[in-house]
Structure 1
Amino acid sequence: MVLPRGLNQVYDEWGGEKASGCLLHAKFLDTFGTKAAEELERRQHYAASHEYRAYNRRLKDNPDLWCKWSEKYINWRQLEILGLMSKGNWA
């Protein structure tokens, strides 16, 4: 979900497409287990690193974040095909 919410709407009121895009979060790369452990040591996150503690616990049991809904990223056109973004009329 993109904020502000209006960025989630890919069609404007008059039927034309709005420009849209996707923000690819690089948090969950294959280095994330190491990063989570590092962030726990730094102790710089809110709520005593509550989220990183949860990540660290789960990654110890299963460090592979790939699942049946995962997709290998190819390019922006793939994101459009998957319905995650619209290229808009400008592209």
Structure 2
Amino acid sequence: MTEDDYTSALLKFVGEEFQRGEERAVLDEGTPLIETGVLDSLRIAVLLTFIRDELRVYVPLTRIDAENFADVRTIARMLTEVAGSAA
């Protein structure tokens, strides 16, 4: 998958799972996910399960931090890097 593919899949999942109605309209790839409360520790765990099961990318513990989960763009970039290094 490309970074754009990851971005699209993540935006769809985060919007459907963690936001309601009008909140979805303001979600884009640069929306700060932790700062705005979209992601918390439990939701990061749910997101990691989606990433592993649906996107088929295993995120190492060393990559799970606030910096890598700041926004959808950053998560997609990290997934591209992790998937590329696993190939």
TM-score band w.r.t. shorter chain = under 0.3
TM-score by length of 1: 0.22
Q: TM-score, normalised by structure 2?
A: 0.23
Of the two, which has the highest radius of gyration? 1
